[in-house]
Amino acid sequence: MPFDYPSYLSNCSQQMQQKLFQVSKLYVELSGNIIDQADAYKKIFAPYKYDMEILFCVKAQDIIDDLPVGEEGKSFRDFIRTSLKKIENQLGVRPHIVINLIDIENMYDMVFAFETHFQKL
């Protein structure tokens, strides 16, 4: 049975309307396929652009390790920078970065430097 795209969009829209009726802001969790399926997400989120915030969560250890990501071997920081720009360009909403799992005693300086760098961008 083929995927029913119009029904999927309608269902997503109905669910978002119900959520907005209950709360004043939508907080959206996006998976990695946002970049690959931008048109679908644009159609789903466009009516709620001013009623939602996108939280882009990053694990503190990933910031510190800065390991290559993907086939291109981009540094983790470059991957984040590129992903944030694509999300903003595709959805018209600037994501917020949330850094989680921070070991304050051992990671604070590096995580703070990362945060400061992205705030300047």
Say yes or no to pLDDT of 34 above 60.
Answer: no
Pair 110, 99: CB distance under 8 Å: no
The average confidence (pLDDT) of the chain is 80
Task: Report the pLDDT value the prediction gives residue 99, as an integer from 0 to 100.
Answer: 86
For 96-118, write each residue's pLDDT tens digit.
888 888 888 888 888 888 888 87
pLDDT value of position 100: 86
> Residue 113: which domain range?
5-120
Q: How many structural domains is the chain composed of?
A: 1
Token code pair at residue 58: 């990053």
Q: Is 87 exposed, middle or buried (0-12, 13-18, 19+ CB in 10 A)?
A: buried
115: CATH:
3.10.630.10
| Residue 30 binned pLDDT confidence (cut-offs 50, 70, 90) | low
Give me the pLDDT at residue 28, please.
66
pLDDT at 38: 62
Residue 45 contacts residue 85 (beta carbons within 8 Å): no
pLDDT tens track for 54-65 = 888 888 898 889
- Give me the pLDDT at residue 111, please: 86
Question: 62, 114 in Cβ contact below 8 A?
Answer: no
